[in-house]
Amino acid sequence: MRFPTSIGALRRDGYTVLPVKDEIRNNLIRKLETHEPLFPGIIGYGQTVVPSLVNAILARHDILLLGLRGQAKSRIVRQLPSLLDEDIPFIKGCEINDNPYKPACKRCADLVKEHGDDVEIDWLHRDRRFGEKLATPDVTIADLIGDIDPIKAASQRLHYSHEGAIHYGIIPRTNRGIFAINELPDLQPRIQVGLFNIMEEKDIQIRGFNVRIPLDLMIVFTANPEDYTSRGNLITPLKDRIDSQILTHYPRTIEDAIKITEQEAWIQRDSRTVQIPHYFKEIIEQAAFEARKSEYVDQKSGVSARFTISAMENLVSNAERRAILVGDRTIAPRICDLAHALPGMTGKVELVFEGEQEGPAKVSKALTGKAVREVFKQYFPDPLLKRSKHQGESRQHEDSEYSKIISWFEAGNKTEIADDMPLDRYLDELDRVKGLRELTKKHMKISEANRYELASAMEFVLDGLHQSSRIAKDEVDRVTAYKDLIGSIFAGKGKSIEEEF
């Protein structure tokens, strides 16, 4: 496509320049009419955040996305430029992308006044119409809006009040586009005050000189709720000037959480095949759900989606390490690998005082244990389920589900699993537990041919029984031992991490 190269050619083509919010609104309407995806990769917001965002755009609002860490606020903001026109015209050489029909800066106004329709224009792609700034305490008004450039003024012999002496900041340079400020409360209050004119009058003033340049902008902010951060506050007069405040949230279902982690985590590794049973994905996500309601975790700071992404990557990496060491072509996680997912969790939670006493690693381990127990109950009968007397037959039947396994441990037997065991040794060690293979196959419906998943599921049963306080578990030097609970209690061992809390 050949673009016009002058204002006159642009007029002859009948091109209409729209305000940026109208442009975004029109493109959004077109996408809604054709049922195009609006925000690809944004999962779990279809009935909550996205409708609110659509309404705000249709209303031509500036927007504040308010929510805890790891709730896709920045990702949403970075997808907004997809609603801009692919290319728009601007006066060639203009620092603030001036509208060819209605220039705002003095340089372009003088150019049009002198040369009229012969003024050259250039075309700006949508990718260059998005400006983003992370708010930090050292950000200045000059960074955002601009300042007088004394060298420029001296070299061109301009008075400081002359527009030609201005060095524009990032906001005017994003004129006719979308400008985003991330973590708005981190911006000093006096700098937030400096945004008032831009939000309300849509213009900028430099150093008190009577320089007024009307800007055409859509402004989007992201922030944690002001009560949730001690780093700074969002001042209420600025909040009042932001048209729509949209609350984000964490995934509300395990299924949505799994989709997010699958989308974001680096799971596929080189030429090896990766097999991750679905219950592993559920355990990782359930650990995050447990963290978001744990009394040891500071709920005001939130638990980011990066918690599960990093944990899943570490889980796969430990399975990959084992596959490399034993020469296996299949990467298959095991329950004993969950201990090596903890480094991906410990830095992602902020603990309250009681949790700090226990330590991040211990809290993360407890959260993983709770997750194993909750997911285990979705696949197997609850080992702790209490039955009433008239349900005696059901109770007896349920006890028989695990009686062979528990009796084997009560007889003084134990099984030891190292995380670097080859598959054959791993499966042989688990097969020593009487009734374990049969129970696993009965409830998990796993084929004998799928030895990787069968072995992992068998260990899942043992860990589920441990988390339900039916058998004991010791972890020493990368070796996990399952054994009788009563004997371990008398020896002072075998308590679950929760019981130790």
Question: Would you write out the chain's pLDDT as a tens digit for each of its 501 residues?
Answer: 578 999 999 999 999 999 999 999 999 999 999 999 999 999 999 999 999 999 999 999 999 999 998 999 999 999 999 999 999 999 999 999 999 999 988 889 999 999 999 999 999 999 999 999 999 888 988 899 887 777 766 676 666 666 666 778 899 999 999 999 999 988 888 889 888 888 887 777 766 666 678 899 999 999 988 555 555 688 889 989 999 999 999 999 999 999 999 999 999 988 899 999 999 999 999 999 999 999 988 888 889 999 999 999 999 999 999 999 999 999 999 999 999 999 999 888 888 876 666 688 889 999 999 999 999 999 999 988 754 444 444 444 455 789 999 999 999 999 999 999 999 999 999 999 999 999 999 999 888 889 999 999 999 999 999 999 999 999 888 899 999 988 666 555 555 445 545
Among 189, 220, 247, where does a domain finish? Answer: 247
At residue 270, the pLDDT reads 83
At residue 124, the pLDDT reads 95
Among 230, 247, 264, where does a domain finish? Answer: 247
Contact call for residues 367 and 289 (beta carbons, < 8 A): no
**By CB neighbour count within 10 A (0-12 exposed, 13-18 middle, 19+ buried), where does 152 fall?**
middle
- Based on the fold, state whether residues 468 and 496 are members of the same structural domain: yes
CA–CA separation, 264 and 306 (whole Å): 9
Q: 335-339, long-range: CB within 8 Å, 24+ apart, which pairs?
A: 335/372, 335/456, 335/459, 335/460, 335/462, 335/463, 336/417, 336/418, 336/419, 336/459, 336/480, 337/419, 338/283, 338/368, 338/372, 339/365, 339/419, 339/475, 339/480
At residue 253, the pLDDT reads 96
In three state form, how does the secondary structure of 2-30 look? CCCCEHHHHHHCCCCCCCHHHHHHHHHHH
At residue 159, the pLDDT reads 67
CA–CA separation, 396 and 412 (whole Å): 24
Q: Quickly tell me which residue has 């480094």 as its tokens.
A: 343
**CA of 376: how far to CAs of 315, 371, 440, in Å?**
18, 8, 11
Contact call for residues 288 and 308 (beta carbons, < 8 A): yes
Q: Enumerate the H helices of 380-496 as residue ranges.
A: 392-410, 423-431, 436-444, 451-467, 485-490
Token code pair at residue 468: 């339900």
User: Is residue 150 a part of any domain in this protein?
Assistant: no
User: Is residue 148 a part of any domain in this protein?
Assistant: no
Q: What is the DSSP string of 34-48?
A: TT--SSTT--S-TTT
* Domain count along the chain: 2
User: Is residue 165 a part of any domain in this protein?
Assistant: no
- Based on the fold, state whether residues 211 and 269 are members of the same structural domain: no
Among 232, 247, 262, where does a domain finish? Answer: 247
pTM equals 0.86
User: Is residue 208 a part of any domain in this protein?
Assistant: yes
- Based on the fold, state whether residues 220 and 267 are members of the same structural domain: no
User: Is residue 217 a part of any domain in this protein?
Assistant: yes
Contact call for residues 262 and 268 (beta carbons, < 8 A): no
Q: What is the DSSP string of 427-452?
A: HHHHHTSTTHHHHHHHHH---TT-HH
User: Is residue 179 a part of any domain in this protein?
Assistant: yes
- Based on the fold, state whether residues 223 and 323 are members of the same structural domain: no
CA–CA separation, 153 and 155 (whole Å): 6
- Based on the fold, state whether residues 195 and 330 are members of the same structural domain: no
User: Is residue 70 a part of any domain in this protein?
Assistant: yes
Q: Which segments within 114-243 are labelled E, that is strand? A: 121-125, 130-134, 146-148, 166-168, 177-182, 203-204, 213-214, 217-223
- Based on the fold, state whether residues 199 and 219 are members of the same structural domain: yes
- Based on the fold, state whether residues 365 and 485 are members of the same structural domain: yes
Q: Write out the H or E segment, with its range, that includes residue 108.
A: helix 106-115
Which residue(s) pair with 222 in the sheet? 65
- Based on the fold, state whether residues 212 and 266 are members of the same structural domain: no
- Based on the fold, state whether residues 419 and 460 are members of the same structural domain: yes
Q: Which segments within 270-372 are labelled E, that is strand? A: 273-274, 330-331
Contact call for residues 7 and 119 (beta carbons, < 8 A): yes
Task: Indicate which CATH number applies to the domain containing 134.
Answer: 3.40.50.300
At residue 397, the pLDDT reads 45
- Rounded to a whole number of angstroms, the distance between the first and last alpha carbons of the chain is 68
- Based on the fold, state whether residues 51 and 200 are members of the same structural domain: yes
User: Is residue 155 a part of any domain in this protein?
Assistant: no
- Based on the fold, state whether residues 269 and 348 are members of the same structural domain: yes
Token code pair at residue 294: 């744990």
Quote the domain boundaries for residue 115. Answer: 7-138+170-247
- Based on the fold, state whether residues 119 and 261 are members of the same structural domain: no
